[in-house]
Structure 1
Amino acid sequence: MSPLVMGRTKVKGITVEELRDRSTALTSALESGGKQLDPARVQDASAVVDKVAERTSKTGNHTVVALAGATGSGKSSLFNALVGDQVAVVGARRPTTAHPVAAVWGEEDAGELLDWLSVRQRHHVPPSATGSLGLPGGQAWNLDGLVLLDLPDFDSRVESHRVESERVLELVDVFVWVTDPQKYADARLHDDFLKVLSMHGAVTVVVLNQADRLTPDALSQVRGDLARLAEADGIGGVQVIATSATTRAGVEELGMRLATAVAAQNAATARLAADIRATAGRLRTDVADSEPSVAEQVDAELVDALSRAAGIPTVVAAVERDYRNQAWSRTGWPFTRWVQGLRPDPMKRLRLNTRDAVEEKLAVTAGDVRSVLGRSSLPPPTPAARASVDLATRRVGDRAGQGLPARWAEAVSDAATPPGPELADALDQAVVGTSLRARAPMWWRAFGLAQLVLALIAVLGLGWLVVLVVLGWLALPDVDTPSLGPVPWPLLMFAGGVVLGVALAALARYLAVIGARRRGQQIRARLLEAVSGVAAERIVAPVRAVLARHRAAREGLERAAA
């Protein structure tokens, strides 16, 4: 209900607890929005939050009403008419009022409140004047708790007067805008105050003073014109009160409005709630209506770009070469295996693992690798790989920031593009920390055992043949040599061992190529998973954090403006 007009449901009433909840929501929105909110608006909102805390902490049920207007509008005369005494100085010299003057109705002490308002000149209205507003035979209205302020002119040629008037207007509960037939359309009143405070219609009164200077027809026309201008300013349904401090016409009606505000005892909360709604509404333009969705899984394009920058193709190729080398060294022909030892170990060259890492029992852990090696010896990413990462992260940022205001979109883009050294180090540690170990295939052992058996057979056959040759050279009696058809066993053993060993080695080389490809795919999947973890932690998570802050700021502003 409007604090000024009984029975008008222009504004929903709000309790102090609800007001504080909205203030808390506004504070939360400011904290969540951070630098992505307009600094000037944030400063204004912080001032509103502080004002809510300070105003609601003041004891008493006072309602602070300010008479504000331009030079020569007759504010002070109207103030004296309401008080029933010559409290404010009235004179022809302008400006007259330099500092706010307060009139207090009721016995409840308003000192703390006036100290907060920084109003030094104070007048306590005696009980005898409370009911009649200084009008003989006037209608009795209970004004206990009213604090009426006469402010300096808001268009004064003295800057300190204007500053003081604006300062107090930021703190009062009810605005009474006093104008006159000459300045009722003044741009200063409408553009700088009524439009800015358009959401404060429930605590706004528009007064056309010096109405005695107009004929009835002219007065009706000016009142209608003033009401139309106020509606254009955003204050719809306003009723312009025509007053005259000289004839006291309309003063009783104005007093009734003030008495209604005092009786409602909700003007202060209505004013503060309007302040919160207004500042939340202005900040609402700094956030979007919703947040773009970010997929749960890391974008494949991003993972592919990071994997190339991390050197995963090089690691996979090294793993495949290492697999082939070890397979050949364990399943190849025993008499030529020593050649494999002359080849460089591709894993050691990259400082990723040791040859024993393929054996489950001798495999080093990721922690061992990190603690001993710290970094790999992978070559740095090529310019093309770095450009690919930049493009992929930029696309992530563009998609996540789509539809957001510029500051938020920039924050999302920055979150999706972490500093180069940090991302590079994280990728390197992900590669180093990924276990490249795997169980040695069973066929290695089977082929290795078969090669040993065939080598032993070949050696025994060769030895037998040598014995036969030595016996023949020494012309010793012939020894009966068993044979398989025309081929003696020694020759069959030697030739068969060599031929079968070489054939088995060739088969092992073919199987090693297939196994190396499978091992590479297995290790590649592990490394891609590790890279996906880096992308999720270093790129996606920061982006989600920015969007979460945006959501919190948006929801906080919506709660504050409810």
Structure 2
Amino acid sequence: MSPLIMGRTKVKGMSAEELVERSSALGGALESGAAQLDPARAADAAAVIDKVTARTALSGNHTVVALAGATGSGKSSLFNALVGDAVATVGARRPTTSRPVAAVWGDDDATDLLDWLQVAQRHHVVGDAAGQQAGEKGRAAQGWNLDGLVLLDLPDFDSRVEAHRHESERVLQLVDVFVWVTDPQKYADARLHDDFLKVLATHDAVTVVVLNQADRLSADSVQQVRGDLGRLTAEDGIAGVQVLATSATTRAGLDELGMRLGTAVAARNAAQARLAADVRATAGRLRADVADSEVTLPDDVDTELVDALSRAAGVPTVVAAVERDYRNQAWSRTGWPFTRWVRALRPDPIKRLRLNTRDSVEEKLALTAGDVRSVLGRSSLPPPTPAARAAVDLATRAVGDRAADGLPHRWAEAVSDAATPPGPELADALDQAVVGTSLRMRAPLWWRAFGVAQLLLSLVAVLGLGWLVVLVVLGWLALPRIDTPSLGPVPYPLLMFAGGLLLGLALAAVARWVARIGARRRGHVIRRRLTEAVSGVAAERIAGPVRAVLARHRTTREGLDRAAA
């Protein structure tokens, strides 16, 4: 309900608790919006929040009404007529009013409120002074009940003195109700309409428009000018406003204006209505700095980004080293025992990268040098190539572009910055992710089976060779021959020797083939582990910050919508 017109329902009333809630929502939006909100509008919003806090802490029994107008509009005369005493200075010299003048009705102390308004000149209206003077002028008062009214006569808002204009604008930021006083000569003045009525169009619930000095016009002219002023006010955005025609000389229209002010005082919600309008207007202006929605990132990190980061982190190099290490270990444990020692002369590909050592293949729970390096050291992986770095840049830029779709410029920049962390930090995180990924896996059972089989075949070959040597020595010494069992024409010693060697070589060839298959499988497992580690870095260093910016945008938008509701 409008605090000025009983029964008006265009503007929803607001309790002090709801006002504080809306103000808190605006404050939360400012905090979450941070640098992504327009600095000037954010500063205005912060000032509104401070004003809400200060005004709601002051007396709730007073309603502050300001008479504001251009030079020569008769504000001071109208002020004196309402007060019933010559409190404000009236004269032909312009400007006449240089400082705000306050008139206070009622017995409640308004000192703190006027101190906050910084109004030094104060007048306490005793009794029904206005009504008494009205009676003396021959126009009976209509029962104005203005207890709790603080009426201000402001300097001219178009004064040639800059300090007067600034003072008028300062006080207008703080009052509860606006009474815009104009006259037949200046009612269409651009300063009134463009700088005040249009800017405060959302404050229609606490706005009164007065055509003063109506005694200078005929009755028909008064109606014509009132209609034209109402049309201009509607074009300013304040639709349905009723223009009051007054005259401080004849006291015409004072009763209606006094009733309007009495209604505002009796409602005791003009301050909340003004502050609520301030919060709504400020939130509405800030709303231009946020979008109507924001992108929701999927839970899974973008595949292209993970692939690019994996290449930059050297995952293919690590996987290749793991496969080579697997093959080397497999051949050293399952190859032909008589040539197995040659494998020991080859460098360890895992050690060369300063990753997990070979000992960790079977010792799953052992603490290795690789574990210490995962905390304190770095790997010896080669730095990413220019092509890999370019792929990372493209992938992160793509993530930022998708997340920033539809966002205002400042928010889009924040998303882009979040999606492209500093190079050294990201590179260090990727390196630590690779170093910290366990390359440990149990030795396959087939290694042991093939190894045992190779040992048995080698033993058979050695025994066969030994048997043959014994037979040769016996023959050379011309000793009695020993019957040698045979399989057909082939004696067992020769069969054992040749069979052990040939089967051992064949088993080594099979082991080499199986080792290649196992190396590829081991590479797939390690690649999956490393990719998960890289994906974790992408989620923490890229997707996480981007989600945080989008969450701030959502919080800001919801806070502004709540404040502007």
Residues 246 and 108 (structure 1), Cα distance of their counterparts in 2 relative to 1, 3 Å cut: same
User: What's the secondary structure of 2:293's corresponding residue?
Assistant: coil
> What code does the residue aligned with 1:251 have?
L
Give TM-score scaled by structure 2 length: 0.97
Cα deviation, 1:324-365, whole Å, max 9, x if unaligned, reads 000000000001001001111000001111112221446547
> Using the alignment, how far apart are the partners of 1:53 and 1:173 within structure 2?
14
Residues 60 and 307 (structure 1), Cα distance of their counterparts in 2 relative to 1, 3 Å cut: closer
Q: Is the 8 A contact 1:211 1:244 kept in 2?
A: yes
Query: How far did residue 128 of structure 1 move?
Result: 3.4
> What code does the residue aligned with 1:121 have?
Q
Residues 132 and 400 (structure 1), Cα distance of their counterparts in 2 relative to 1, 3 Å cut: farther
* 1:199-210 → structure 2 map (5 Å cutoff): 199-210=202-213
> Using the alignment, how far apart are the partners of 1:291 and 1:309 within structure 2?
30
Query: How far did residue 482 of structure 1 move?
Result: 2.0
Residue in structure 2 matched with residue 91 of structure 1 by the alignment: 91
Residue in structure 2 matched with residue 176 of structure 1 by the alignment: 179
Q: Is the 8 A contact 1:2 1:8 kept in 2?
A: yes
Query: How far did residue 481 of structure 1 move?
Result: 2.0
Residue in structure 2 matched with residue 58 of structure 1 by the alignment: 58
> What code does the residue aligned with 1:443 have?
W
> What code does the residue aligned with 2:65 have?
V
Cα deviation, 1:142-196, whole Å, max 9, x if unaligned, reads 1000000000011111110001000000000000001111111111111110011
Residues 133 and 265 (structure 1), Cα distance of their counterparts in 2 relative to 1, 3 Å cut: farther
Residue in structure 1 matched with residue 126 of structure 2 by the alignment: 126
> Using the alignment, how far apart are the partners of 2:452 and 2:114 within structure 1?
101
CA RMSD after TM alignment: 1.4
* 1:374-385 → structure 2 map (5 Å cutoff): 374-385=377-388
Q: Is the 8 A contact 2:60 2:268 kept in 1?
A: no
Residues 224 and 366 (structure 1), Cα distance of their counterparts in 2 relative to 1, 3 Å cut: farther
Residue in structure 2 matched with residue 212 of structure 1 by the alignment: 215
Query: How far did residue 131 of structure 1 move?
Result: 4.2
Cα deviation, 1:502-556, whole Å, max 9, x if unaligned, reads 0100000000000001110111111111111111111111111111111111111
Residue in structure 1 matched with residue 158 of structure 2 by the alignment: 155
> Which residue of 555, 559, 562 corresponds with 2:562?
559
Query: How far did residue 426 of structure 1 move?
Result: 1.0
Percent identity, please. Answer: 81
Query: How far did residue 471 of structure 1 move?
Result: 2.1
Residue in structure 1 matched with residue 289 of structure 2 by the alignment: 286
Q: Is the 8 A contact 1:454 1:498 kept in 2?
A: yes
Residues 362 and 506 (structure 1), Cα distance of their counterparts in 2 relative to 1, 3 Å cut: farther
Query: How far did residue 252 of structure 1 move?
Result: 1.4
> Using the alignment, how far apart are the partners of 2:396 and 2:544 within structure 1?
13
User: What's the secondary structure of 1:61's corresponding residue?
Assistant: coil
Query: How far did residue 477 of structure 1 move?
Result: 2.6
Residue in structure 2 matched with residue 229 of structure 1 by the alignment: 232
Q: Does 1:523 align with 2:526?
A: yes
User: What's the secondary structure of 1:545's corresponding residue?
Assistant: helix
Q: Is the 8 A contact 2:73 2:183 kept in 1?
A: yes
Q: Is the 8 A contact 2:3 2:206 kept in 1?
A: yes
Cα deviation, 1:374-428, whole Å, max 9, x if unaligned, reads 2111111111111111111111111111011111111111111111111111111
Residues 372 and 240 (structure 1), Cα distance of their counterparts in 2 relative to 1, 3 Å cut: closer
Q: Is the 8 A contact 2:374 2:432 kept in 1?
A: no
Residue in structure 1 matched with residue 517 of structure 2 by the alignment: 514
Task: Answer with 506-515 or 459-468: which moved more.
Answer: 459-468
Q: How many residues align?
A: 562
> Using the alignment, how far apart are the partners of 1:436 and 1:365 within structure 2?
11
Q: Is the 8 A contact 2:355 2:370 kept in 1?
A: no
Query: How far did residue 292 of structure 1 move?
Result: 1.0
> Using the alignment, how far apart are the partners of 1:531 and 1:20 within structure 2?
46
Q: Is the 8 A contact 2:155 2:164 kept in 1?
A: yes
Q: Is the 8 A contact 1:353 1:369 kept in 2?
A: no
Q: Does 1:144 align with 2:147?
A: yes
> What code does the residue aligned with 2:96 have?
T
User: What's the secondary structure of 1:334's corresponding residue?
Assistant: coil
Question: Structure 1 runs of 4+ off > 6 angstroms?
Answer: none
> Which residue of 382, 397, 402 corresponds with 1:399?
402
> Which residue of 324, 347, 367 corresponds with 2:327?
324
Residue in structure 2 matched with residue 31 of structure 1 by the alignment: 31
Residue in structure 2 matched with residue 79 of structure 1 by the alignment: 79
Task: Answer with 86-95 or 135-144: which moved more.
Answer: 135-144
Residue in structure 2 matched with residue 46 of structure 1 by the alignment: 46
Query: How far did residue 134 of structure 1 move?
Result: 3.9
Q: Does 1:502 align with 2:519?
A: no
> Using the alignment, how far apart are the partners of 1:461 and 1:473 within structure 2?
18
> Using the alignment, how far apart are the partners of 1:370 and 1:74 within structure 2?
85
Q: Is the 8 A contact 1:132 1:140 kept in 2?
A: no
Query: How far did residue 133 of structure 1 move?
Result: 6.6
Residue in structure 2 matched with residue 100 of structure 1 by the alignment: 100
> What code does the residue aligned with 2:58 have?
K
Residues 307 and 132 (structure 1), Cα distance of their counterparts in 2 relative to 1, 3 Å cut: farther
Query: How far did residue 367 of structure 1 move?
Result: 7.8
Residues 191 and 353 (structure 1), Cα distance of their counterparts in 2 relative to 1, 3 Å cut: same
Q: Is the 8 A contact 1:366 1:434 kept in 2?
A: no
Residue in structure 2 matched with residue 67 of structure 1 by the alignment: 67
Q: Is the 8 A contact 1:483 1:489 kept in 2?
A: yes
Q: Is the 8 A contact 2:100 2:152 kept in 1?
A: yes
> Which residue of 477, 489, 493 corresponds with 1:486?
489
Q: Does 1:544 align with 2:550?
A: no
Residue in structure 2 matched with residue 313 of structure 1 by the alignment: 316
> Using the alignment, how far apart are the partners of 2:390 and 2:476 within structure 1?
77
> What code does the residue aligned with 2:17 have?
E
> Using the alignment, how far apart are the partners of 2:251 and 2:35 within structure 1?
53
> Using the alignment, how far apart are the partners of 2:78 and 2:340 within structure 1?
113
> Using the alignment, how far apart are the partners of 1:532 and 1:519 within structure 2?
20
> Using the alignment, how far apart are the partners of 2:518 and 2:82 within structure 1?
100
Residue in structure 2 matched with residue 11 of structure 1 by the alignment: 11
Q: Does 1:422 align with 2:408?
A: no
> Which residue of 253, 259, 278 corresponds with 1:256?
259
